[in-house]
A and B are shown apart, each in its own frame.
Chain A
Amino acid sequence: MSADFFYGIEVVINGLMAGVLYALVALGFVLIFKASGIFNYAQGVMALFAALTLVGVMEGQVPFSHLINAIFGTEIHHFGWHVPALLAIFLTLLVMVFFAWCVQKFVFRHLVGQEPIILFMATIGLAYFLEGVGDLMWGSDIKTIALGLPQGGSLWLEQATSGLGGDDFYGFFIDKLDIVATLVAAVLVISLIVFAQYTKQGRAMRAVADDHQAALSVGISLNFIWVLVWSLAGLVALVAGVMWGAKSGVQFSLSLIALKALPVLMLGGFTSIPGAIVGGLIIGVGEKLFEFLIGAPFLGGATENWFAYMLALVFLVFRPQGLFGERIIERV
Chain B
Amino acid sequence: MFYREAGDFKTSYEADNQTFPIAFDRYRYWAVLAVAYLVIPFIINDYWANAIFVPFLIYAIAAIGLNILVGYCGQVSLGTGGFMAVGAYACYKLMTAFPDVNIVLHVILAGGITAIVGAAFGLPSLRIKGFYLAVATLAAQFFLVWLFNKVEWFYNYSASGQINAPERFVAGVPVTGANTAPWAQYLICLVFLTVCAIVARNLTRGTLGRTWMAIRDMDIAAEIIGVNPLRAKLSAFAVSSFFIGVSGALFFAVYLGAVEVGEAFGIQKSFLVLFMIIIGGLGSIFGSFAGAAFLVVLPVALKVIGVDLLGWPTDIVSHLQLVIVGALIMFFLIKEPHGLAQLWRLAKEKLRLWPFPY
Contact = CB atoms under 8 A, between A and B. Distances in A.
Does A associate with B in a complex? yes
Interface of A: 39, 66-67, 70-71, 107, 110-111, 114, 116-118, 120-122, 124-133, 135-136, 140, 259, 262-263, 265-266, 270, 299-303, 305-306, 309-310, 312-313, 316-317, 320, 330, 332
12 contacts: A117-B134, A124-B274, A125-B333, A128-B325, A128-B326, A130-B326, A135-B319, A263-B135, A263-B138, A300-B150, A306-B142, A313-B128
B139 interface: yes
10 closest Cβ contacts across the A-B interface? A129-B326, A132-B322, A125-B329, A128-B326, A309-B139, A132-B323, A306-B142, A135-B319, A306-B143, A125-B330
Interface string B111-140: 000000000000010011111101110110
A128 B330 CA distance: 10
Contacts of A320: 127-129, 132
Given A122-B333, A128-B323, A313-B136, 18 more contacts: A111-B333, A120-B131, A121-B274, A122-B334, A125-B327, A125-B333, A129-B326, A130-B326, A132-B322, A132-B324, A132-B326, A263-B138, A265-B135, A302-B146, A305-B145, A309-B139, A320-B128, A332-B218
A111 B135 contact: no
A261 to B, nearest CB: 10
B315 interface: yes
Interface residues of B, number: 48
B313 A66 contact: yes
A70 B316 contact: yes
A93 B223 CA distance: 50
B127 A132 contact: no
Nearest to B131: A39
B334 A110 contact: yes
Interface of B: 76, 124, 127-132, 134-136, 138-139, 142-143, 145-146, 149-151, 218, 220-221, 224, 267, 271, 274-275, 278, 312-313, 315-316, 319-330, 333-334, 337
A302 to B, nearest CB: 6
B128 A317 contact: yes
Contact of A121 (B220, B278, B321): B278
Nearest to B129: A320
Contact of B316 (A66, A262, A302): A66
Nearest to A302: B146
Most buried by A among B150, B220, B324: B150
